[in-house]
């Protein structure tokens, strides 16, 4: 079985390496290699991707940066439409084309139509639903831009979901949304649409016997609007004895630093760690918090749960389908007051905190282990080929 994986549009192997997530992202595919699958990665990188690819065993990497290069950035999108033709040999010699996210799926769709290959559209989250959720939470600042983005996302997803031979989404809420938005009920009945949680390597992300940091709360993720970080920082204004440690990078870092200074709050920005080093870091904490406005199926939450932490998450779709309040996690609302109270309540109740950690680990072992999901992925490939 020969499969080509199309990276998220604009994302390179170098990006994965810079973010420290390369080992996590390729773990599934390394498992699939053991099932005699031949794999190729189509990335949006340059020669650096070829150098980084030397760390990856038995997976060919095809960087396409040169095919998109243009003095006018807007032409990149137009030039991307011709990638299937320019890489004809690569697409002819595969059985399945699979996307890593919905962005860039138009390239996969064109290749399917031209070369009559099986197509699996994988989306870690549904972008149209995210677009609507953020507009509802944050408001619409530029109506024209919002409408144009909406129609571009809608058309892209409509095409992808309608012609795919298989669809993988990481949350049942996203599945329900696309069925309604794109009238895909018949495709769902035919098992073309499948729910796959994000996976966790539970042999690495596991409870460790390390010294815990007292009254330190951990956040891991991109420093973007999605994560509700300004309200998280405000919550610590009245948590004098607690420290907030942040792992991640993003466009809001400087604004968050300024906000913390104005409020007189000490926030520890710890930068980025390679994914394989995170288990040791995560295990130094008792509480992880993820107060996001929206999520798909957050890997950080799953990894922290696998390490046996008590995790606080906002009561939103994408988190409330994983966490059961006071069973394997703890809910907060989006406001600073609710975030503060959740931290205090959980910290004061040691027995609850420990039981939540035990239940969280069990949930991951039963539902999200790398072994379970790599087998599920392989069986889905076989099912798609039989159609």
pLDDT digits (tens, 9 = 90+) for 208-235: 999 999 999 999 999 998 899 999 999 9
131 and 233 housed in the same domain: no
Residues 17 and 134 in one domain: yes
Q: Is the pLDDT of residue 140 over 90?
A: no
Q: What is the CATH number of the domain that holds 152?
A: 3.40.50.2000
In a domain, 209, yes or no: no
Residue 146: predicted pLDDT: 85
Task: Work out the average pLDDT over 157-161.
Answer: 96
Residue whose C-alpha is closest to residue 381's, from 163, 194, 161: 194
* Mean pLDDT, range 149-158, rounded to an integer: 93
40/178 same-domain check: yes
Q: At residue 11, does pLDDT exceed 90?
A: yes
Tell me: the pLDDT tens digits for 232-281?
Answer: 999 999 898 899 999 998 899 999 999 999 998 889 999 989 888 999 99
**Residue 243: predicted pLDDT:** 94
Task: For residue 130, name the pLDDT band (cuts at 50, 70, 90).
Answer: confident
- pLDDT higher than threshold 80 for residue 192: yes
* pLDDT-based confidence at residue 363 (cuts at 50, 70, 90): very high
User: Dihedral sign, CA of 307, 256, 332, 178?
Assistant: negative
Is residue 194 over pLDDT 90? yes
The answer to the question of residue 206 being in a domain is no
Mean pLDDT, rounded, for 190-201? 94
In a domain, 137, yes or no: yes
Predicted pLDDT of residue 143: 86
Whether the per-residue pLDDT at 126 is higher than 90: the answer is no
pLDDT for position 77: 87
CA–CA separation, 55 and 386 (whole Å): 33
CB crowding 189-203: b at 16 or more within 10 Å, else e: eeebbbbbbbbbbbe
Same structural domain, 237 and 118: no
d(CA 275, CA 211): 20
186 shares its domain with 319 = no
Q: What is the mean pLDDT of residues 163-175?
A: 94
Tell whether 145 and 95 lie within a shared domain.
yes
Let me know whether 127 and 165 are in one domain: yes
Quick one: pLDDT band at residue 354, thresholds 50, 70, 90?
very high
Report the percentage of the chain scoring pLDDT > 90: 79
* Residue 380, CB-side half-sphere exposure with 13 Å CA sphere: 25
Mean pLDDT of the chain: 93
Q: Angle of helix 22-33 relative to helix 370-386, nearest 10 degrees?
A: 60
Residue 105 lies in a domain: yes
| Same domain assignment for residues 192 and 229 | no
The reply to whether 130 and 40 lie within a common domain is yes
Residues 94 and 243 in one domain: no
Examine the domain organization and report whether 309 and 374 are in the same domain. no
Domain count, the chain: 2
- What is the distance between the alpha carbons of residues 15 and 23, in angstroms, rounded to a whole number? 12
pLDDT of residue 70: 75
Q: What is the pTM of this model?
A: 0.88
Whether 346 contacts 245, CB under 8 Å: no
The per-residue pLDDT for range 81-124, each reduced to its tens digit, is 999 999 999 999 999 999 999 999 999 999 999 999 999 999 98
Residue 349 has pLDDT above 80, yes or no: yes
Element (H, E) at 181: helix 172-182
- Say if residue 376 is in the same domain as residue 354: no
**pLDDT at site 181:** 94
**246 in a domain, yes or no?**
yes
The residue range of the domain holding 176 is 2-199+370-386
In a domain, 211, yes or no: no
**Chain centroid offset of residue 95 CA:** 26
Residue 19's pLDDT is what?
Answer: 85
Picking from 325, 326, 329, the residue whose alpha carbon sits closest to that of residue 300 is 329
Does residue 10 register a pLDDT over 90?
yes
Alpha-carbon span 9 to 105, nearest angstrom = 8
């Amino acid at each position: 079985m020969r499969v080509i994986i199309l990276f998220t549009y604009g994302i390179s192997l170098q990006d994965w390496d810079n973010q420290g997530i390369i080992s996590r992202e390729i773990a599934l595919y390394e498992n699939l290699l053991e099932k005699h699958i031949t794999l190729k990665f189509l990335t949006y990188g340059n020669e650096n991707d070829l150098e980084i690819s030397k760390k990856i065993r038995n997976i060919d990497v095809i960087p396409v940066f040169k095919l998109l290069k243009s003095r006018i950035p807007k032409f990149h999108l137009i030039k991307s439409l011709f990638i299937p033709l320019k890489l004809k040999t690569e697409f002819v010699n595969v059985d399945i084309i699979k996307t890593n996210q919905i962005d860039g799926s138009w390239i996969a769709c064109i290749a399917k139509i031209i070369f009559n290959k099986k197509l699996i559209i994988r989306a870690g989250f549904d972008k149209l639903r995210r677009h609507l959720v953020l507009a509802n939470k944050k408001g619409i600042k530029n109506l024209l831009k919002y409408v144009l983005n909406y129609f571009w996302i809608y058309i892209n997803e409509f095409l992808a979901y309608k012609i795919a031979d298989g669809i993988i989404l990481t949350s049942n809420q996203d599945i329900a949304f696309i069925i309604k938005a794109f009238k895909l009920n018949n495709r769902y009945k035919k098992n073309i649409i499948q729910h796959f949680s994000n996976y966790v390597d539970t042999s690495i992300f596991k409870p460790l016997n390390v010294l815990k940091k007292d009254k330190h709360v951990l956040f891991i993720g991109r420093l973007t609007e999605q994560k509700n970080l300004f309200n998280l920082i405000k919550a610590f204004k009245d948590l004098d004895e607690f420290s907030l440690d942040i792992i991640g990078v993003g466009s809001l870092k400087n604004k968050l630093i300024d906000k913390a200074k104005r409020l007189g709050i000490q926030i520890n920005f710890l930068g980025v760690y390679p994914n394989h080093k995170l288990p040791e870091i995560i295990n130094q904490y008792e509480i992880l918090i993820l107060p996001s406005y929206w999520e798909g199926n957050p890997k950080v939450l799953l990894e922290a749960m696998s390490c046996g932490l008590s995790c606080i998450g906002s009561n939103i779709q994408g988190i409330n389908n994983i966490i059961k309040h006071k069973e394997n996690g703890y809910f907060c609302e989006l406001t600073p007051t609710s975030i503060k109270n959740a931290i205090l309540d959980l910290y004061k109740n040691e027995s609850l905190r420990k039981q939540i950690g035990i239940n969280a680990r069990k949930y991951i072992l039963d539902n999200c282990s790398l072994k379970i999901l790599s087998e599920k992925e392989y069986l889905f490939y076989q099912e798609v080929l039989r159609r």
